[in-house]
Every structure is written in C-alpha cells, then in structure tokens.
C-alpha cells in the first residue's frame, strides 16, 4: 500500500508572510497533507487573534489542495503524534534560526521519537522576511506590498488604520 505522509507546519503566523506562503506551497509538493498549525499564544500578545490568523491562512491556502489550518496549544510533538503526523516541518532562514530549531527538534524527538522534524531552507527572495519585521515596517509607514499576501495587507490596514 502506498504510504500517506501527513506533515505539521507549526508557527505563530502573526501575520502570515510570503515566506510562510512559500513554505506551504513547497511543503505540499513533498507531503500528502500539510496541517498548518497555528499556535494559540496569548502570552506572546499577538497582534492578530487566533481566529484572524486562521482566517488569513485559510484564504491563502484555499487554492493549494491538501492543506488544512488548525489551532494548537501545549506540546507540539504531542499534538503531532495525536494527529498521526510523521513530520514537523520548519523553515530555516539563517544560522540564527538554526540553534533554536535544533534544540527544539532534539527535545521533540526525545519526547516523541516517532515524529521527525524536517527543515526546509527559505527561498532566497524571502529569507529576510519575518512576521515581526513586517509589523515593524508597516507601523513605521514602509511598504509591505512584496512581503505579505494581499489578504494580510488588507487586514493590517484595517487593524492599524494608518
Ligand atoms: P514561530 O514563532 O514558531 O517561529 P513563525 O510564524 O515566526 O513562528 O514561523 C513559523 C515557521 O515558518 C518557522 O519554522 C519559521 O522558521 C518559518 N519561517 C518564517 N518566515 C520564513 C521565511 N521567510 N521563509 C521560510 N520560512 C520561514
């Protein structure tokens, strides 16, 4: 029987960027199903609520086939195991991402050895994009047109009314 591989792509997505979009569209070419798992992180004080982040991601992922958007909290590896996902997908933009990601991957393996972390390198053209910088640039009046999908531009505008 052919094997079905489900991957979880977790993050805060506050807000989703073109970097995330690129990861999702490349991820779905490799795995049979991709669950974009949005972290419910009230203590990080997100700009967008969990529901808003999920709505934006659903709109972005709608044309992409086997992508689902879900919320999660608690232990990521436990959630992945519960959803019977074989893979946690993470993006690496620079060496600075790597140290933290490596530590997290090793901890997750310690907790749930059946779930494998897979790293994908960011596309060069998006490797400088982060949700934090997008928010900063927008708040300071800079153009974010090439950094985020249209739905995110609209939502940022509506939320911050600059
Ligand atoms: P977290 O707070 O968990 O890092 P993010 O929403 O910032 O959540 O990122 C989710 C995932 O997407 C992470 O694996 C991150 O490395 C990756 N990522 C973020 N921006 C980019 C980008 N521009 N290119 C590729 N991957 C990215």
Return the CATH number at 117.
3.40.50.620
Residue 138 lies in a domain: yes
Residue 1: per-residue pLDDT: 65
Domain of 130, in residue numbers: 6-160
More confident site: 44 or 61? 61
Residue 1 lies in a domain: no
Exposure string (b/e) for 37-58, b if CB count within 10 Å is 16 or more?
Answer: bbbbeeeeebbbebebbbebbe
* 42 pLDDT higher than 80: no
What is d(CA 83, CA 134) in angstroms, rounded to the nearest whole number? 31
What is d(CA 57, CA 68) in angstroms, rounded to the nearest whole number? 9
Residue 146 lies in a domain: yes
Residue 118 lies in a domain: yes
The pTM score is 0.95
Residue 68 lies in a domain: yes
Ligand 1 within 6 A of CB of 122: yes
Residue 25 lies in a domain: yes
- Give the chain's domain count: 1
- Dump pLDDT digits (tens) for 46-105: 999 999 999 999 999 999 989 999 999 999 999 999 999 999 999 999 998 999 999 999
- Tell me which residues are annotated as active site: 20, 44, 93, 131
Give 41 Cα–ligand 1 centroid separation in angstroms: 15
Token pair of 65, please?
Answer: 């086939």
């Amino acid at each position: 029987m052919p094997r079905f591989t489900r991957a979880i792509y977790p993050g805060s997505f506050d807000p989703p960027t073109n970097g995330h979009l690129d990861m999702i569209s490349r991820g779905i070419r490799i795995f049979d199903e991709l669950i974009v798992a949005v972290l419910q992180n009230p203590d990080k004080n997100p700009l967008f609520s969990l529901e808003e982040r999920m709505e934006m991601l659903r709109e972005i992922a709608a044309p992409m086939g086997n992508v689902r958007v879900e919320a999660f909290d608690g232990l990521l590896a436990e959630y992945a195991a519960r959803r019977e996902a074989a893979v946690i997908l993470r993006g690496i933009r620079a060496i600075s991402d790597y140290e933290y990601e490596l530590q997290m991957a090793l901890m997750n393996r310690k907790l749930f050895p059946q779930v494998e972390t897979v790293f994908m390198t960011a596309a060069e053209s998006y490797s400088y994009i982060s949700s934090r910088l997008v928010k900063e640039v927008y708040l300071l009046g800079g153009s974010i047109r090439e950094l985020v999908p249209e739905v995110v531009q609209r939502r940022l505008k509506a939320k911050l009314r600059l």
